[in-house]
Structure 1
Amino acid sequence: MKGQKAMPLEIVTIPCLSDNYAFLAHDATSGQTALIDAPEAAPILQALDDKGWTLSHVLLTHHHWDHVDGLSGILEKHPAQVVGAAADAHRLPSLDLQVVEGDSFEIGGEQVQVLDVSGHTVGHVAYYMPQSAAVFTADSLMALGCGRLFEGTPDQMRASLSKLAALPDDTLVCSGHEYTQSNAKFAITVDPDNPDLKARIADIERARAAGEATVPSILALEKATNPFLRAADPAIQAHLGMTGARPEAVFAEIRGRKDRF
């Protein structure tokens, strides 16, 4: 039946610039392919050529240059529908589809749900694909971290992260940067007795020594190890001297410490 899909989308991770990631999500049946964020044209065009895919959609998460600057070069070769937040339309490249939280649209029969994840910027969105069990979070929820609060407040970011943490545990978290190793060095300072975090740090060090990416990650692992998702955890609160404090206040303290780290 129309709108039904037998298989999840094929997701490809593309390193860009010095530490950015873009992603392709491809439906083999329809041939439709979405690009999530456009940091740099050349590696994305190469990935499309290598796969023999034609771009149908570009999904932009937020306005920062390192997520949009490659778009014009990509569209020259692959005219595609550009999707982004209505709230950010005034500072994003020209959008063909403006979206807000609660909106959904289809790529190759796969439903794409729009989530407002403001905090890093106001107007930042994430794209959740339930059937493929993937969420494209850019600089909101990151591997072992979250984006710096350039525009939003700690309460906004914690609300955004809580929204993402409520997704199924097996969700693939496709975030925007290879910051995991540096995030790990901070995480252990606020959650030093977490065995899951210690094991993850060892895995990260092995992966990076081998030149392997640490993104995407799995949401269950983020919930077990990412301090920005663990502001209500008694061990972290005790370590920070904030036992019983509001999670919002603990989150703000963790974010402040990371900014100064």
Structure 2
Amino acid sequence: MKSNHSYLILAFLIIPILSGCAKGNTSLHPDFKISKQELTDVVRSLPDGIRNNILKKPQCFLEFMERILREDPAYTVLVDKSHSLTKTYIPKDLININDYGIPVTKKNLKLRSIVIPDLKAMEEAANLRGIKLTIGSSYRSYTYQNRLYSHYVKTEGREKADRESARPGHSQHQLGTTIDFYPIEDNFIETKQGTWLSENAWKYGFSLSYPPNAETITGYKYEPWHYRYVGRDVAYIIKRYFLGQQEIFLQFFNTHKKFFMERIIS
């Protein structure tokens, strides 16, 4: 009996050691087959601050990634200097913003219907703080954007136009989920509306597309009025993990979407 007891003690001592050795290969989240090393390799090319945020709380990161992978893909479509929409792309569920009592600067401004619930909730929350949010621009067709860009080129030259206006097909406004809040001016961040949005828009699924000091990343100058609706989960992950850099997240997500999809445990 004494001998068997010794073997049991030895077994209990060995099991934790073996478990510790295997820790690096265990999954980080119950819904994914992803090890710590695999995640580390995937995020290796990200800026230090973003990479560290992810690796500090990988389970929470993967929880939001799992949700995002199951959401409307329109939230994560990459539209930028290098990725475009077709000339014929028109969202099917465009509706008039006016019909929902949301302040606008002109009639017939449209957005996709998926934006309205959170936009309305955000507008009401701002109102409770005595702040009136007004929309100055929303959905733009390919044709409209072509005219707008051509106007900028004609009046300001191509180099400046490319910093301030998207070429046709490359505008987030064509998605029908992007808003320019009024007034559309460089000092918008200094207004009550601009300050409130910078602190609270992410809570309602809106992300600032062209943040300050990010022109080398986005290709556009700082636009404190330009917000894209990406849904609450995407907006959270951009703010919490990606330091507010929407472009970096969307590039990362679209590059590695297949990697994460293949490792979801269905």
Superposition TM-score tier, normalisation by shorter sequence? under 0.3
Instruction: Give the number of the structure whose residues are more often strand, by fraction.
Output: 1
Q: TM-score, normalised by structure 1?
A: 0.27
More helix by share: 2
- Name the TM-score, length of structure 2 as normaliser: 0.26
Higher Rg: 2
